Amino acid sequence: MIQRKAAKEQRSKDSFFLSLPLCLFALSLLLLSFSLRFHLLGAQSFWNDEGNSYVQALRPLTEIPFHAARDIHPPGYYWLLHLWRLAAGDTEFGLRSLSAFASVLTVAFTLSLGRRLYGPLAGLAAALFVALNTFQIHYAQETRMYALLALWGVAGLWALAGLIQQQNVQRMGATHESPLHSRQRAPIRWALTLALINTAGLWTQYAYPFVMLAQGVIFMVWWVGRLVGTRRVVPGYAQDSRTQHAAPLQILGVYILANLLTILMYLPWLPNALTSITTWPSTGQPVPLNESLSMILGWFTLGMTARVIDPSWVAVGLLLVLLGLRIGQPGQKLWRVLLPAAGALIPVGLFLALGLFREGNLKFLLPAQVAFALWMGRGVWVLAGLDVRGIRSRVDGDQQITAAMSTFIRFLPRAAALIVVLGLAVNLWRGLEPLYHHPDFQRDNYRGVAADITASLDTDDAIILDAPNQEEVFRYYYAGDVPVYALPAGLGGDDAQTQAAVEHIVQAYDQIYVVFWGETERDPNRVVESTLNVQAYEASSQWYGDVRLVRYATPQEPTITQSVDVQFGDSITLQSYALSENAVSPGEVLQLRLNWRTDTPLDMRYKVFVQLLDEQGGLVTQRDSEPGGNLALTTTWPPGETVVDHHALIIPNDLTPAHYTLIIGLYALDDPQQRLRMGDADHFVIDTIQVQHGEG
């Protein structure tokens, strides 16, 4: 007895000294996760969906469900964000910090789950793969519900593992010294925890059932194994036959009750969920299976910046998951092996089977990425623990060499595991710089859009938002008095009404600033843009991520009209042109209407360039676009019909008063150097433009 007590005390001391470095490493990992998710958190502008979250959070708690019912997301996240902003404020940093904190907790749950299933090494490796993954970090820095979806996903697996392990402990009689009522209540507590977490997941995002289906598969794998093993007698633990047969049914009943409780707590929203899921249009894209799987595997392993770092490390991640499927000893529990695999593969399989694949939808798979990281963490654990005694036994020769080789071989699996983890960590780290700074990974810059509009806006101007659901994020940054028109009205579909609204705006204002985003969904026939291209003059166009800002000048009565019949190349003829004026001041807009015709169908697309040259022939300013504001493509011109093409040129504010030459021409879309010639020239002179001093 004394010897056992001393041994127990010694193991306790050894455990303390062993766990202290692991605790310090785990704490450092969580601090790293925190710093990566809060780094430059408020630097980027809100994009469209974040504006929607902001407006939802401003509403009273009782009104949020009504507005969420018309969206594709349940109200749970908006309720939480409403409460969060009361403490954190309305800045980009404050509103995004909810997602950042949720993502840090995701790393913590990943570490805890990996440690519970396979030990500290697997937990730390898995947590590291989540902490550094730019896929996770990107959505941790967004005022949306997807970081919370990842948190509930891993927390649900954590609770499920706790429920299963509690049943295993009871079966082995490890708690026979505990009071009976405590043993009976433990599974109920885990089941209740699972039910609450799953309820939170359902109220957060409609993709959460993917996680619950994975949970069901994992539980059934464990339960069938438990059912088969009920007749197996555990040494030192007596169990009567009635208990043997009743226990699996009781456990199944507990799990079913936990899911019924989840459905009961979600029942008030279930009709809205079914309506949203069944009526919302599909946003998936037809992509070959190998391409979609390649992208998913790259994002799961190296993050969304995988394409800018060494792709060969994706193969290393794949090798780890293959190692993670190794069962090892016959007595090893199958459900432990399959838990991360099911958590990753089932959501991905459902995602692809339902036709949801497109890059913007991969956020639904954030919980699956956590499971994939656990899977890789298990692979690291298996690699580090590979049995190399057979190799060591075959080392022959000199005793000193044999001892050295034996030591080397004994530590080889651990060294290999360390190299793999460090290699993946280094490559994950390399993806952070482009995530924070590369334009390809920046959000749509509505902050810049609003600032540029405000800088050049006049009282006789107007703003159009196409599509209208941009209004929330645009008004977060825009505080001016110029009217803002969100078109098409409602969900769109009434093209005649939209056209009439645009025509009214053209007649009422001097200049129109149009913000295009998502117009193909609300305005599929591009009524707003086509009407403006016919009735106004496009003066400038600039991209801010996926958002395009176009400035239009409403038409002036032309002072100069001229028939020319000038031929460009073999088939295109400039019949005539109309110029608003040939005397302008800096900052004004020169309007030019070109009337084109082709004699034969064209099989090549051309761009029109409009340039203003100084007296030495130097370029002062220019405007290039395909005809009709990029809508009247030359390959669509009907032979023999006139194509009206509007262009506008903004006179620079700092242009010196003098005489300038206005020229036009055409060049091949794919090769700007390939200009269509008109005789010996490659351009046509429209007129001499006098730039004069502005008023005042």
Report pLDDT digits (tens) over 170-182.
Answer: 555 544 444 545 5
Q: How confident is the model at residue 520 (pLDDT cuts 50, 70, 90)?
A: confident
| Bridge partners (DSSP) listed for residue 544 | 547
Measured between alpha carbons, how far is 389 from 200 in angstroms, rounded to an integer? 48
The mean pLDDT of the chain is 90
* Residue 167: per-residue pLDDT: 78
pLDDT score at 17:
43
User: Which residue in the block uniquely carries the two structure tokens 């005042």?
Assistant: 696
Work out the pLDDT band at 360, boundaries 50, 70, 90: very high
The DSSP result for 579-636, as a single string, is: ES-SEE-TT-EEEEEEEEEESS---S-EEEEEEEE-TTS-EEEEEEE-HHHHTS-GGG
Residue 491: what pLDDT?
Answer: 75
% of residues, the chain, pLDDT over 70: 88
Q: Between these two residues, 9 and 203, which has the higher pLDDT value? A: 203
Residue 150 reports pLDDT greater than 90: yes
Residue-level pLDDT at 691: 95
Lowest mean pLDDT among 38-47, 77-86, 405-414, 611-620: 405-414
Would you say 128 and 425 are in contact if contact means Cβ atoms under 8 Å apart? yes
Q: What is the mean pLDDT of residues 126-145?
A: 99
Q: How far apart are CA 467 and CA 470, in angstroms?
A: 6
Domain boundaries in the chain? 2-437, 446-553, 560-691
Query: What would be the CATH architecture of the domain defined by 560-691?
Result: Sandwich (2.60)
Report domain 446-553's class.
alpha beta
The pair phi, psi for residue 695, each rounded to 5°, is -65, 135
DSSP summary character for residue 143: S
Residues 6+ apart with CB under 8 A from 43: 436
Mean pLDDT, residues 241-263: 81
Residue 359, strand partner residues: none
Cβ proximity of 579 and 686 under 8 Å: yes
* pLDDT digits 0-9 by tens, 467-518: 899 999 999 999 999 999 999 988 778 999 999 999 999 999 999 999 999 8
The pLDDT of residue 9 is above 60: no
The rounded distance, in Å, linking the Cα atoms of 475 and 494 is: 25
Overall pTM surpassing 0.75 (yes/no): yes
Most distant CA atoms of the chain, gap in Å: 113
How do strand 572-579 and strand 583-584 relate by DSSP bridges? unpaired
Least confident of 170-184, 211-225, 423-437: 170-184
Which positions ≥6 away from 153 have C-beta within 8 Å?
201, 208, 211, 343, 366, 367, 368, 370, 371
Averaged pLDDT for residues 72-92: 97
